[in-house]
Amino acid sequence: MGLLNFIKDVGEKLFGASEAKAATPDELKKELDKHGLNADGLQISVDGDKVTVAGEALSTEAAEKITLALGNTVGVAQVDNQLKVKQAAPEAKMYTVQKGDNLWKIAEAQYGKGQGAKNTLIFEANKPMLTSPDKIYPGQVLRIPPLA
């Protein structure tokens, strides 16, 4: 997956984080646990606003969700995903939410006109980080899964 950019002053606020720097590796692991993403065996390091994650993920989807959970926190501008994936699959696109966006609008933009109903795919692809289709915010990065 490599290096992904995020907007460091938007996202989940974690204890110990500030707009100047990301939270500690332990706090970031707790954030992964909060979302039900297995942090066991992951090596997370923080250098200013850049987070590097290494280790092994069960799937491409899990690796992407780990990256998004880490990156969509205040103080993180970049995530360097060095995870090895046990069961590789095609990578999802990443999309940064803009002002005025909703999942329907994003689905139409990503999948084509008349495809707004595919917003449920985007919502499901971003669970558990998204708890409601209505709770997205500008600057948040979302997974846009490929259509089967």
pLDDT tens track for 74-94: 889 999 999 999 988 999 999
pTM of the full structure: 0.86
Predicted confidence (pLDDT) at residue 137 exceeds the cutoff of 90 = yes
Q: Which pLDDT score, from 0 to 100, does residue 15 have?
A: 55
Q: What is the pLDDT of residues 103-119, one digit of tens each?
A: 999 999 999 999 999 99
Q: What is the pLDDT of residues 28-64, one digit of tens each?
A: 999 999 999 988 899 999 999 999 999 999 999 999 9
Domains defined for the chain, CATH in brackets = 2-87 (3.30.1340), 93-144 (3.10.350.10)
pLDDT band at residue 5 under the 50/70/90 scheme: confident
Overall average pLDDT of the 129-144 stretch:
95
Contacts of 141 by beta carbon, 8 Å cutoff, 6+ apart: 4, 6, 68, 71, 72, 94, 95, 96, 97
DSSP state, residue 56 = E
